[in-house]
């Protein structure tokens, strides 16, 4: 059902057996490096430390050091993607598109979290469990009804009664 579809078969080695650019790794390097550079620049917007507290290492120094390390690692990742060794080319798996089921499942997770705010916890639990189960191909409706009814009751007992959590309500 949720088979991953291959969209990029240009990775690994070319017809002459030479390693070719690993596009997915290069994109990762660019995202990580770009993000780190952006955050590095952001450290210059941190509030100034008052003189009475300005002793020792300032609050921006350590994050900057870590971000520089991240930038260095992203450059290394990018370099390896541009100039892969034969060994890494042999191991390299072509990039595949993310299956639709992942997006749909992620959408349901998001709706569940949004639902907690608007319709309350217990209705959200029921709707989410049934919807995800159906989305994933379950068709034993009776079993779905019984299982998730019992589970919702257990959630109520555990969180509301035993742990005294004020679960979100409508």
* Residues found near another protein in the complex (CB under 8 A): 1-4, 24, 28, 32, 39, 42-43, 46-47, 49-50, 53, 55-60, 62-63, 66-67, 69-70, 73-74, 76-77, 80, 98-99, 101-102, 105-106, 109-110, 112-113, 116-117, 121, 125, 128-129, 132-133, 136-138, 143-144, 147-148, 151, 155, 159, 163, 165-168
Report DSSP letters for 8-53, one per residue: ----SB-TTS-B---HHHHHHHHHHHHHHHHHHHHGGGSPPPPGGG
| Nearer Cβ to another protein (14/106) | 106
Buried b (16+ CB within 10 A) or exposed e, 114-144: ebbeeeebbebbbbbbbbebeeeeeeeeeee
Shortest distance in whole angstroms from residue 8 CB to another protein: 13
To another protein, the closest distance from the beta carbon of 63 in angstroms equals: 5
Nearer to another protein, 14 or 113 (CB): 113
Closest by Cα among 131, 124, 125, 123 to 106:
131
Q: Residue 35 and residue 95: Cα distance in Å, rounded?
A: 22
For another protein, the closer of residues 15 and 69 by Cβ is: 69
Question: Toward another protein, which CB reaches closer, 21 or 102?
Answer: 102
């Amino acid at each position: 059902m949720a088979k991953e579809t291959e969209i990029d078969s240009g990775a690994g080695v070319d017809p002459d057996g030479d390693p070719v650019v690993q596009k997915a790794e290069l994109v990762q390097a660019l995202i990580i490096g770009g993000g780190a550079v952006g955050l590095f620049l952001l450290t210059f917007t941190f509030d100034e430390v008052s003189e009475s507290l300005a002793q020792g290492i300032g609050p921006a120094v350590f994050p900057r050091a870590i971000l520089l390390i991240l930038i260095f690692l992203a450059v290394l990742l990018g370099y390896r993607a541009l100039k892969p060794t034969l060994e890494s080319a042999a191991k390299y798996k072509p990039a595949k598109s993310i299956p639709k089921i992942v997006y749909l499942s992620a959408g349901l997770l998001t709706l569940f979290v949004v639902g907690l705010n608007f319709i309350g916890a217990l209705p959200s639990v029921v709707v989410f469990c049934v919807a995800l189960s159906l989305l994933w191909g379950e068709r034993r409706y009776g079993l779905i009804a019984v299982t998730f009814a019992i589970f919702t009751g257990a959630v109520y007992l555990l969180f509301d009664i035993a742990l005294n959590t004020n679960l979100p309500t409508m």
